[in-house]
Amino acid sequence: MKIVMLGAPGAGKGTQAEMIAAKYGIPHISTGDIFRYNIKNGTDLGKEAKKYMDEGKLVPDELTVRLLLDRVAKDDCKDGYVLDGFPRTIPQAEVLTKELEKQDAKVDFAINVDVPDEDIVRRMGGRRACVNCGATYHVVYAAPKVEGVCDKCGSKLVLRDDDKPETVQKRLKVYHEQTQPLIEYYEKKGVLRTVDGTRDLHEVFADIAAILEQN
């Protein structure tokens, strides 16, 4: 079962990917984790990626896909995996499709966690992060025991620049331009399934599980 998670930043697709991975015993794979692992371990692909990153450039699609394919070739992926944060663009999706076809494989489900922009701005504006240990909270959905104070280490909680409304609006603009076209791409492939991401995360997950267990 090969699954791609789609949705705007802040839609909750990462949380759903973790829950899918836990329930079905398949790895939750994010490109960020792959980059960090390969760079930390000094692999050939990691060294190649680091060159671009050190120069402040985006890692080319072709190299990103090679890193991804190297990861999904590992034994723990033999029963499938959940991709989170990849593909982000149509060219990346096309390269992924082509490479999987070479292995006589394909994406089985593209799960789109659908949340309106205004909900995302409101959600992300409620996020708070610990300046010391990095723990995250939400003023409505996962509030700390004491307002503005981290439960884990007692340090101050702040609204990160990434979560400020003006930054979120910019991220959503990039998403609509570059990533949203993937919805149509996977719809044409016949694998797109959309869930209402505005509800409680357990209700959203129940919908996803029902989709994955239809076959």
- pLDDT tens string for the chain (215 positions)? 999 999 998 898 988 999 999 999 999 998 888 888 899 899 998 998 888 888 877 788 888 888 888 898 899 999 999 999 899 889 999 989 998 898 899 999 999 999 999 999 998 899 999 999 988 899 988 899 999 999 999 999 999 888 899 999 988 998 898 889 999 999 999 999 999 999 999 999 999 999 999 85
pLDDT at 116 (0 to 100): 95
Give first-to-last CA distance, the chain, whole Å.
Answer: 10
Give strand ranges (E) for 2-108. Answer: 2-6, 28-30, 81-84
* CA separation for the pair 132, 195 (Å, rounded): 35
Architecture of the domain defined by 2-26+79-115+172-212: 3-Layer(aba) Sandwich (3.40)
pLDDT at 215 (0 to 100): 58
Domain boundaries defined on the chain: 2-26+79-115+172-212
Cβ proximity of 21 and 208 under 8 Å: no
pLDDT at 95 (0 to 100): 87
* CA separation for the pair 153, 198 (Å, rounded): 31
Q: Which pTM was predicted?
A: 0.82
Enumerate the active-site residues: 13, 88, 127, 160, 171
pLDDT at 171 (0 to 100): 87
SS3 156: strand
Residue type, 149: V
The token pair that represents 91 in the structure block:
């060219």
* CA separation for the pair 46, 36 (Å, rounded): 8
Closest CA to 182 of 87, 66, 85: 87
Is the C-alpha dihedral spanning 200, 188, 100, 178 positive or negative? negative
